[in-house]
Every structure is written in structure tokens, then in C-alpha cells.
Structure 1
Amino acid sequence: MRKLYLLIWILLFTSFLKAQDNNGPRITALGNAGVALQDVWSVKNNQAGIAGLLKPIVAAGYENRFGVKELSTQAAVFSIPIKDYAIGAAFNSYGVSDYREIKTGLTLAKSFGPKLFLAVGLNYHQLKISNYGNSNAFSIDVGLQYNAFPKLWLGSHISNPNQARYGENTDQIIPTHIQFGANYIFSEQLLITTELEKILDAQADFKAGIEYKLIKFVALRGGISVNPFKQFAGFGLNYQRVNIDFAVASHPVLGYSPQVALGYEF
């Protein structure tokens, strides 16, 4: 029983970090600075980004948090463009049978021409703790991306502005995140992305990442975040319709968290 209580405490502690919501290896490798990117994993980071995708994409990922199996995260996403709209969905599961957080989200994004993307998302949260019962809640997301200049994209996103929280069975909260950022596409080979994130009742965090394509279907990535200082690295393989992405995040105290994802473009 003591081991169970210790495990639940660790899970509760790490659940206050946004990292337990798997953003996909590409965004993770870029320091989690993905608010201005267009990617299928944008459905979990800034839903407006899926409005820039031209084909249906599905992807699934796994993260082994800090090398501890009990802190693993499984995630799946997909996006389908329909004329000027895009529909997306995301699933995220974190924890073990005695403590588990599950988040399911649906997104509707719209492109207003090639320069402006808007999106709104609805999320259903479930929290299951053995001997304490289950709790659930609904939250919303609102996202925007704007192509200010030919090579410069700006993005903003807010999650849980309604400050939803779980029920009476637990004091666990659902954090409210506010993000602003930009990415600059220097060429077909080089991209730099930045983001400023503020979690209510916590200090702001600045993130930055760089992506360089060695060849058309191989990309190398790296990134940092400053609060706390963390380092990220990874790579991506995009061959025909199959995408394989890998990333590893380094926390100064808790250690390394590798993750991998497989995607398919229809």
C-alpha cells in the first residue's frame, strides 16, 4: 500500500507539468515550441495548425517518462481536411491502473484564406484513482495562426479558459495555458520556432527549437525551454506516406524521457 501511495504522489506531481500531455515527437524535439506549426500533432498543441494540412493524417505515439514505465503516456491523433475546414481528434492516456488521466478531444478548424487559421476544441477529461473514485470534466481550447509575412507564422492558443476542474472526489486541477509564438521558415531545409507559455499560478516559460532537413525525407531537430531549463533532441523520417518521429527530453532533475510516433498520410 505504501508503494501505491508513493506512485500516486509521483503521478500527481508530474501531472502538473504540461509534459504529461504528449505533443508528439516533432513538437517535443523542438522544445515543445509548436504553437505556430502546422502538424497533425497540432491538434494537441494549437488546433489551428491542422487547418494548414492538405491530406488526412493519422498518428500514434508512446512516451516513456523519465524511464519509469508507470509514467508512460500513449497518444493518438488524426486530422481530415474538408474544403476550408479541418476536423481533428486526439486521445491521451497517462498513468497506471491505480492512477490514470485520460483526455479525449475533438477539434474544428477553419482557414480564412491561406494566411489565417482559427480553431476551437472540446476536451473530455477523466481522472481515475483507486479507492478514491472517478472524476471528469470538460474544457475548451481556442487557437489562432496568422501568416504575417511570407516566411513568418504567428500563433496563439489558450487551453481551459473556462478554468474547468475535476469534481469533489479530488483537488486535482486542470491547468490553464496561454501560449504565444512564431516560426520562421528560412528555406525548405531550415525552420526556427519560438514560444512563450504561461500557466496560471506558475512562472512563464520560453521555448525555442530548430529543424534542419539533411535531405528531403530526413530532418534533425533540437530545442530548449528555460523554466526549468530542459533540452530536447530528435529526428524525423518522412518516406512516401509514412512518418516516423523520435524525440528525447532531458529534465535537470528527473532525467530523460524518450518518445516515438508513427504516422500515415492518406
Structure 2
Amino acid sequence: MKNFYLLIFLLSPCFSALAQQGNGPAVTAMGDAGVALSNVWAVKTNQAGTANLKHALIAVAYENKFGIKELSTKTAVFAVPIKTYVVGASFQAYGTDGFNEVKTGLSLARAFGQKLSLGIGLNYHQLAIQNYGDARALTVEVGLAYQITPRLCLASHIANPNQSKFGKETAQNIPTQMKFGASYLFNEQVLLASEFVQGIGGQADFKSGIEYKLVKILALRGGLAVNPFKQYGGFGIDYKGIQCDFAIASHPVLGYSPQIALAYEF
């Protein structure tokens, strides 16, 4: 087991970006293209996307990444409107007792009129590796969304613009990413979302996804990403304030990652 933790430690730069996700199956199933979506998971994808939430929501999710228990991710998010603001909180735990990364976040969002929304997030990262010590770091996130028309929304988001790092004693890094995207509501049944992602020192990626409401309470979702090419699918059930979402992501090398979430609207 010690050798396993050492292997994960050595490969940690490869898994770092994966560990930073945990965006919830409602977003993941749409190709993980969430920068221009407005839901409780915007607490993680783009804080500006929570600015128009009218009710408090809480959601929890579990992802079995690549079928490896040691890489499982547990996530919880919460958002509540307070006067003209929406306050959000998130918690994400990745790994096991021997190797784990925990990310705790707070966010604040506000809508300025009916078109412009701004959001900011502050995250506290904790990394612990058995027999190798631990490290901590703070990062910030800033996002905006602009409703061009009632159907078309443009959005952008940057994570870790200060390029905060855990330190020289670990190879694990905290990605700096910029995202630009849009969502378009064709009608009450069909929603399309796309985004372009560029990481500092990393490769660019394009993601896109679609949601189709088969009936009022059931939505089918699918999506893809191009670098590397990944496929996504899933569904969501929304009944009297209780939401259940499922998604599965397919990586061309590492395999499948199923995830499930439950949410409640107060």
C-alpha cells in the first residue's frame, strides 16, 4: 500500500486537474461545460452563475473516478440568497487517508440588473501524503456572466490567477485555468452549452454538451471534450424540489468515471 501512495504521489501532477473538478453530474454529463450554466454547481464552475438563484439549495455528490476507490471524490455545495447577494460554500475531498486533497470554498455572487452577474470565490486547499508530510494553499476565482438575450448567455471565469502553489516540497500543483463559454436555450426542452478552456502551461480544450427534457421532471444529457477526446452522458430527475443526477465520463486511456448526486431546494 505504501508503494501505491508513492505511485500516486509521483503521478500527482497528472491527476491534479482531475482532482480539481468535482463539478457535479448535472454539469459533467454535459461535457463538463458549466461556465455559462446557472445552478447550484456554479458554486464551483463559475460563481457568477449562482447570482440569480431564488431559493437555497444544497447538493452532495460522489464520483468513483476510473473505478479506483483511492481516487474517489466526494463533493458538497450549498447556495443561499441573502438580500441582493447569493452566498455559496463548497467542500471536496479526494483520495484516501494515505493520500488526500481537500478543497473548501466560499463564494459571493451578485446580479447587476437583468443582464450582468459577477462572482468571486476563495478556496483553501489541503494536501496530505502519508510519510511525505502535508501542505496548504489559498486560491481565488473570479467569474462573470452576461445575459445577451433571455436565451443566450455568455460567461467567463478564471481560477487561481495568482498561480498559488502548495510549495517546492511537493510535485502537486494547483492549475490556473481560464474559461470562456456560452449557453443557449432553444426552447423549454433543449439547452446547449459550450466552453473553451486554457490552462497556464497546459493545453487548450473545448467542451460542449446538450440537455433535453424528455418530460417535465426528467432530463437527458450528453457531451464531449476534445483534448483529450472524452465522452459524457447522464440524466437528471427533478421532483418537488428533490433532484437526483447521474453522469458517466469516458476517458480514452483511464476508463470510466460514474458519479451520482442528490440535491434539495428549500
TM-score by length of 2: 0.97
1:178 corresponds to 2:171: no
Deviation of the 1:164 alpha carbon: 0.4
Deviation of the 1:224 alpha carbon: 0.2
Counterparts of 1:118-197 in structure 2 under 5 Å?
118-197=118-197
Provide the rounded CA distance (Å) in 2 between the counterparts of 1:97 and 1:16: 17
Q: Which secondary structure does the structure 2 equivalent of 1:137 belong to?
A: strand
Query: What percent identity do the matched residue pairs reach?
Result: 55
Provide the rounded CA distance (Å) in 2 between the counterparts of 1:206 and 1:19: 19
Q: Can you list the C-alpha shifts for 1:212-243, whole angstroms capped at 9, x where unaligned?
A: 00011100000000000000000000000100
Provide the rounded CA distance (Å) in 2 between the counterparts of 1:155 and 1:107: 17
CA RMSD in angstroms, aligned pairs only: 1.2
Q: Can you list the C-alpha shifts for 1:151-173, whole angstroms capped at 9, x where unaligned?
A: 10001000000100013431321
Provide the rounded CA distance (Å) in 1 between the counterparts of 2:116 and 2:20: 30
Q: Which secondary structure does the structure 2 equivalent of 1:70 belong to?
A: helix
1:62 is aligned to 62
1:215 is aligned to 215
Provide the rounded CA distance (Å) in 1 between the counterparts of 2:118 and 2:174: 23
Q: Is the 8 A contact 1:14 1:20 kept in 2?
A: no
Q: Where does the alignment leave 5 or more consecutive residues of structure 2 unmatched?
A: none
Q: Is the 8 A contact 1:36 1:155 kept in 2?
A: yes
Deviation of the 1:134 alpha carbon: 1.1
Deviation of the 1:13 alpha carbon: 4.5
1:247 is aligned to 247
Provide the rounded CA distance (Å) in 1 between the counterparts of 2:5 and 2:121: 34
Deviation of the 1:98 alpha carbon: 1.0
Tell me which amino acid in the other structure corresponds to 1:148.
I
2:3 is aligned to 2
Q: Is the 8 A contact 1:31 1:208 kept in 2?
A: yes
Q: Can you list the C-alpha shifts for 1:104-126, whole angstroms capped at 9, x where unaligned?
A: 00001001012111011100000
Q: Which secondary structure does the structure 2 equivalent of 1:184 belong to?
A: strand
Q: Can you list the C-alpha shifts for 1:26-67, whole angstroms capped at 9, x where unaligned?
A: 100000101000010110110111112110000000000001
Q: Is the 8 A contact 1:43 1:107 kept in 2?
A: yes
2:24 is aligned to 24
Tell me which amino acid in the other structure corresponds to 1:210.
I
Counterparts of 1:75-90 in structure 2 under 5 Å?
75-90=75-90
Deviation of the 1:189 alpha carbon: 0.4
Provide the rounded CA distance (Å) in 2 between the counterparts of 1:8 and 1:71: 12
2:201 is aligned to 201
173 and 3 in structure 1: CA distance in 2 versus 1, 3 angstrom threshold: closer
Q: Is the 8 A contact 2:5 2:130 kept in 1?
A: no
Provide the rounded CA distance (Å) in 2 between the counterparts of 1:174 and 1:17: 8
Q: Is the 8 A contact 2:209 2:223 kept in 1?
A: yes
Provide the rounded CA distance (Å) in 1 between the counterparts of 2:75 and 2:96: 14
Provide the rounded CA distance (Å) in 1 between the counterparts of 2:187 and 2:4: 52
Q: Can you list the C-alpha shifts for 1:79-101, whole angstroms capped at 9, x where unaligned?
A: 00112210000000001111111
Q: Is the 8 A contact 2:5 2:99 kept in 1?
A: no
Q: Which secondary structure does the structure 2 equivalent of 1:167 belong to?
A: coil
Hey, which bits of structure 1, 4+ residues long, moved more than 4 A? none
Q: Can you list the C-alpha shifts for 1:161-208, whole angstroms capped at 9, x where unaligned?
A: 010001343132111010000000001100000000011111110000
19 and 174 in structure 1: CA distance in 2 versus 1, 3 angstrom threshold: closer
1:116 corresponds to 2:119: no
Across the two proteins, how many residue pairs are aligned to each other?
265
Deviation of the 1:20 alpha carbon: 4.5
